[in-house]
Amino acid sequence: MRLPGLIYESLPTAYAAIGAFALGLSAIDTRDWRVAATFSIGIVALIAALTIQLRRRGWREMRRRYSGEPIPPPAVAARSSRR
């Protein structure tokens, strides 16, 4: 399934906003089970936002470095660097 670019790029921001809202709500609400539920949702949403953002950054950086050329095996790369 492919998402439109605008939605795809806004997912980490949406997850971070949901996480921040849930953490704020858990700080305000004082009922036992609600605090645990909203805190858990907030932490999971913030971790998801960070994970997506870091994986995207890594993917874009890798694509920038390797412009379609085949990556040599480690043994070949070690031999060519010794020369």
Q: What pTM value is reported for the model?
A: 0.70
- 1-11 residue pLDDT tens: 787 888 888 99
- 14-49 residue pLDDT tens: 999 999 999 999 999 878 888 999 999 999 999 999
Helices (H), the chain: 5-28, 32-65, 74-82
* Average pLDDT for the chain: 84
pLDDT over 60 (residue 83): no
Question: Is the torsion defined by CA of 43, 47, 48, 50 positive or negative?
Answer: positive
